[in-house]
Amino acid sequence: MRVLIIGAGTGGLCLAHGLKKAGVGVALFERDRTPRSMLIGYRVGISPDGSKALHSCLPPDVFAEFVRTTARPPKHIVMRTEKYKELLVGEIDTELDDSRSEKSVSRIAMRTALLGGLDDVVRFDKSFRHYSHNDDGTVTAFFDDGTSETGDVLVGADGAQSKVRRLRLPDAKVVDTGITSIAGKLPLTDETVKLLPPLADGGITLLFGPQGEFVIIHVMRFDGTGIEDDYIMWAYASAHEKFPDMKGMSPAELKQVVLNMTPRFHPDLRRMFSLATPETVFQIRVRTSERLQPWEPSNVTMIGDSVHLMTPGRGIGANTALRDAELLSRKLAEAHQGKDVVQAIGEYEREMVEYGFQAVEASREMMDGRSLAHKPVIGRVVSAFSRTFLRVTNAVPPLKRKMMAEDAAERDHVSSAHEVVRAG
């Protein structure tokens, strides 16, 4: 059996490894011209479930390299006001073994590690255009450079703007959530580290502004793994209508937009906005997919954002893509052993749609422009965010219990959130 995968992102690379490990023929096509081009190295949190999927698909040496190139794992989740006033501190269990612990990963480092052992599988500078079914049951993928490739199965792992999805499920809808985010990175130096709020170095920090806007800060320390230099990443998010028209703006202008929108935020935070390296600044209109109606399986399927795009609200998009990759590689391995391939894909799709759209809906609940556009109640946002981190706080039962108990109380009373919770 030969499987064609479109897209060398989180899901596509994991799937390629899983199939190769199972002895299934696989070829992966990526439109980026080189492994590092186009990738902004933003931080992705790989949860214990994501790690388990990687652990099961990757050969041991590639998994070890992936672990080696992750940044120091976060030890706390800290919620503050935009003026750095502390609201909540949760501590994350960092004692779990490598296959189960929470990991802080930079996309560039993750792609570099996951490309290990795939030299014979991945082809860069191959932009997929469309596919056709052949009389003998095979499928052919056509590329912008005029070439084509034929296989038994085609998998779209081509992300948020998936062409495979548009052709395979033309009625699938991707909708705007009403939230815009602008993010950037700056080098972590002896000077910039002083701009961080307490506990940010070694944790994840969320800052809530007075108008429903929020900022997330990640500090990435790689301890000399050589792939990337240490950095601070920030992302500012608010309702679309709060932003000016940003069409055609340069990265420097986008930074200025954030500065103009945050005049009363802590001066050190504003300094971090202004120090972002221009080429790392990007803007996202946060979009999400709508639940799909059941469809007849065929030998063309999808994984990850291409089929269930979700907001970054719960930090589970990549983890769900990895779960898809693990499940689909298992199902295709069964087909390789003799099971009917369309039946195997149908089983994958039924399971994937269930957990995938649960993740979409949970992520959307967390990031919806309608709630951000309203006047702020910090407690409400904090309690909403506390649900985001159940994934993390599951490892910290006392914090989880405290957050759950406070949820109702915080809805209307900001003051109840002004409390430090130390767990464990």
Ligand X SMILES: Cc1cc2nc3c(=O)[nH]c(=O)nc-3n(C[C@H](O)[C@H](O)[C@H](O)COP(=O)(O)OP(=O)(O)OC[C@H]3O[C@@H](n4cnc5c(N)ncnc54)[C@H](O)[C@@H]3O)c2cc1C
**Which stretches of the chain bind ligand X, using CB under 6 A?**
6-12, 29-32, 42, 44-45, 127-128, 157-159, 163, 183, 284, 304-306, 312, 315-319, 321
Nearest to 346 by CA among 357, 359, 337, 335: 335
Q: How many CA atoms lie within 13 A of 216 on its CB side?
A: 20
Q: How far is the CB of 196 from ligand X (least distance, A)?
A: 19
Cβ-based nearer residue to ligand X, 27 or 44? 44
Tokens describing residue 119: 């030299």
Cβ-based nearer residue to ligand X, 152 or 158? 158
Q: Which residues pair with 237 in a beta bridge?
A: 181, 214
d(CA 33, CA 54): 25
Between the alpha carbon of residue 25 and those of residues 150, 271, 329, the distances in Å are 12, 51, 11
Q: Which residues pair with 239 in a beta bridge?
A: 179
Cβ-based nearer residue to ligand X, 108 or 414? 108
Q: How far is the CB of 292 from ligand X (least distance, A)?
A: 15
- 3-state SS string for 170-227: CCCCEEEEEEEEEEEEEECCCCHHHHCCCCCCCEEEEEECCCCCEEEEEEECCCCCCC
Cβ-based nearer residue to ligand X, 316 or 417? 316
Q: How far is the CB of 39 from ligand X (least distance, A)?
A: 7
Q: How far is the CB of 143 from ligand X (least distance, A)?
A: 8
Residue length of the chain: 424
User: Which segments within 240-314 are labelled E, that is strand?
Assistant: 282-289, 300-302
Residue nearest to ligand X (CB): 9
Cβ-based nearer residue to ligand X, 30 or 406? 30
**CB under 8 Å to 345, separation ≥6 — which residues?**
153, 297, 298, 299, 301, 328, 331, 332, 335
Cβ-based nearer residue to ligand X, 29 or 63? 29
Q: To which residue do tokens 């935020």 refer?
A: 265
Cβ-based nearer residue to ligand X, 249 or 284? 284
- Give the dihedral of Cα atoms 384, 231, 72, 262; nearest 10 deg: -20
Q: How far is the CB of 199 from ligand X (least distance, A)?
A: 19
Cβ-based nearer residue to ligand X, 178 or 379? 178
Q: How far is the CB of 325 from ligand X (least distance, A)?
A: 8
Q: How far is the CB of 365 from ligand X (least distance, A)?
A: 16
Q: How far is the CB of 149 from ligand X (least distance, A)?
A: 12
DSSP H helices, 105-173, are 107-114, 163-168
Q: Assign 149 to helix, strand or coil.
A: strand
Q: How far is the CB of 345 from ligand X (least distance, A)?
A: 17
Q: How far is the CB of 319 from ligand X (least distance, A)?
A: 4
Cβ-based nearer residue to ligand X, 218 or 402? 218
b or e along 288-314 (b: 16 or more beta carbons within 10 Å of the residue's beta carbon)? bbbebeeeebbbbbbbbbbbbbbbbbb
Cβ-based nearer residue to ligand X, 164 or 417? 164
Between the alpha carbon of residue 352 and those of residues 18, 150, 359, the distances in Å are 17, 25, 10
Nearest to 257 by CA among 271, 269, 242, 277: 242
Q: How far is the CB of 400 from ligand X (least distance, A)?
A: 19
Cβ-based nearer residue to ligand X, 101 or 402? 101
Following DSSP, what letter does each residue of 316-352 receive, concatenated?
Answer: -HHHHHHHHHHHHHHHHHHHHTTS-HHHHHHHHHHHH
d(CA 157, CA 301): 9
